[in-house]
Structures are given as structure tokens and as C-alpha cells.
Amino acid sequence: MDCKIYTKKSFPDWIRFKVPDTNEVKRVHSLLEEIGIATVCKSALCPNRPECWSRKTATFLLLGDICSRKCSFCAVKKGQPLPPDPFEKDKIIKAVEIMGLQYIILTMVTRDDLLDGGANHISEIVLSLKEIFPERKVEVLVSDFQGDVSSLKTILKAKPDVFSHNLETVERLCPIVRDKKCSYRVSLDVLRKVKEISPETKTKSGIMVGLSETRDEVLQTLKDLDGIGCSIVTIGQYLQPTIRQLHVSDFISPDEFKFYEEWANNNLSLKVIAGPEVRSSYHADFWCKEQKE
């Protein structure tokens, strides 16, 4: 990829960085530390934290914070993951209760080291949340489980409201942006199989732009996702988390994001949520309800 080096000073003015350091953010941070659980919101210093937390939404990072894959855009630690925390379920339940979360997103590092990829661990947490808080929504944002159908079935038997798995990028860039064990086609197949196994489960995916993909490639990705019955797709600007990850190739204008939303609205069945600040979980509670029937 031909990438220029951008510094924060050269970012276009539509990219916002300021995280309001409100008392509420501090309060939630110390609460999570006390309980001993990780959220992606906090680990990735997501600028949308105050908004999400005030909407009673948060994304928990399950199965540790060390990933068995090495995607070149991702700042999560890589290496030999630790055994799953047997008390993680109780910690999540406690956090949901204390934070009063109404929309819970459970995400994970990829665990190729575990026989089931961590599916049982996630499934048990979803089952407990559904049992204790039947009126609250649970979304899982999970790995590809190497396309393993029994792991997908294990997750789906817990009946998450939304099954999310990110393609992350267009097909041509997948070998550069994602780990070599990841595959655009396997990821599409995972979302297709989920609809086959559990047609009533909403499926969702996400891609980042600004990695040198073309508009046609983005549209093709949307068509591919529409073709396998995916309901919601998020498109957001890629931002280099630290100097060790891929450089930003270009900043996509707000008009281009709008174009993707409108094009999908006019040509496809799925709903696209696109914008520079959009992340996989951005306003997930709202879009889950508003998605096109």
C-alpha cells in the first residue's frame, strides 16, 4: 500500500479526537478497574465512550487481552493468550448491573489456542445475561472460529440478539490488513452460516476505510454482505492506533460516507451506518432497532 505518514496536526478537521474527561468517564473507569474486567471502550480509548456509556451501552472484551492473531491494524496485544478467567461471567454480570447497561456488546480476542475458539465461554456468558436480564439486548462481536460450524452453533444456542463479525476491509486488502489466518471468504461464510443455522438472528459486519481501498471495492463488499443476508454494516475511518500499526492511506470525506449510506439504501436490503467516527459498536442499540425489515 502506498501510504503517506499523517500526524495528528495534518488530520482533516472532520476527525475529532477530544475525549471529554468527564466525571462520569472517570467513575466508570474506576468501577471497571475495581471489578477487574476489560472493555474495548477503555482499552482502545474510544472517543465515543461518554456517548455510549450515557446510552447505557458498553463493549466488554472477553477471553483476556492477548490475541492469538496478528492483524496489522490492531493494537491489541499479541502472543500466547492466558487461560480463560473462570470468574469472567460473574464480573460481567456485576458490571451490567452496576452500570445499568441496557445494550451489552461482548467481543473477544481470537483464541486459536482453544479447541472451540472460546465459543463455550462466550455462550455461557450470553445465556446467563439473557436469564438474569431477559429484557436487555446482547450483541456478540466474535472471531471467525476458523469457520467451525459447531462453535457457531454453540454461540447461537445462547440466542444473542445480534451476531456480529467484522470483515474489517475489502477482499484485496484482507491479506495485508488482517492476520494471514483470516480470510475474507471465510468471514463471509461465517455470516452466511449464522443465517442458515439461525435465520431469526440479525447479523452485522463492519469495515474500515482509509486503507487504500477503492469506492468500487467498498460497494462490492456491501453487495457481498447483502448477498448473504447481513442486516447491518458499519463503515468508519481507519485511524492508526500507534506507530506500530498500518499507516492511514487516506481520509475519507464525510460526503463519501454519506454516499455509501445512500447507495446502500437505494440498492440493497442491508442498512449501512457510515461516518468518520463510526465504529463496530457505534450506536448499536439504536441501529439494532432501526434496521430495515
Q: How far is the CB of 107 from ligand SF4 (least distance, A)?
A: 8
Angstrom distance (rounded) from CA 175 to CA 49: 30
Q: How far is the CB of 168 from ligand SF4 (least distance, A)?
A: 7
Q: How far is the CB of 69 from ligand SF4 (least distance, A)?
A: 4
Nearer to ligand SF4, 110 or 164 (CB): 110
Nearer to ligand SF4, 123 or 143 (CB): 143
List 61's β-bridge partners, or say none.
Answer: 107
Q: How far is the CB of 77 from ligand SF4 (least distance, A)?
A: 9
Work out the end-to-end distance of the chain between its first and last CA atoms, rounded to an integer number of angstroms.
Answer: 38
Q: How far is the CB of 61 from ligand SF4 (least distance, A)?
A: 9
Nearer to ligand SF4, 71 or 105 (CB): 71
Nearer to ligand SF4, 141 or 158 (CB): 141
Nearer to ligand SF4, 74 or 99 (CB): 74
SS (H, E, C) the chain: CCCCCCCHHHCCCCCCCCCCCCHHHHHHHHHHHHHCCCEHHHHCCCCCHHHHHHCCEEEEEECCCEECCCCCCCCCEECCCCCCCCCHHHHHHHHHHHHCCCEEEEEECCCCCCCCCCHHHHHHHHHHHHHHCCCCEEEEECCCHHHCHHHHHHHHCCCCCEEECCCECCCCCHHHHCCCCCCHHHHHHHHHHHHHHCCCCEEEEEEEECCCCCHHHHHHHHHHHHHCCCCEEEEEECCCCCCCCCCCCCCCCHHHHHHHHHHHHHHCCCEEEEECCCCCCCCHHHHHHHCCC
Nearer to ligand SF4, 69 or 271 (CB): 69
Q: How far is the CB of 73 from ligand SF4 (least distance, A)?
A: 7
Angstrom distance (rounded) from CA 21 to CA 45: 11
Binding residues for ligand SF4, rule: CB under 6 A, are 67, 69-71, 74, 76, 109-110, 143, 179
Q: How far is the CB of 190 from ligand SF4 (least distance, A)?
A: 13
Nearer to ligand SF4, 99 or 114 (CB): 114
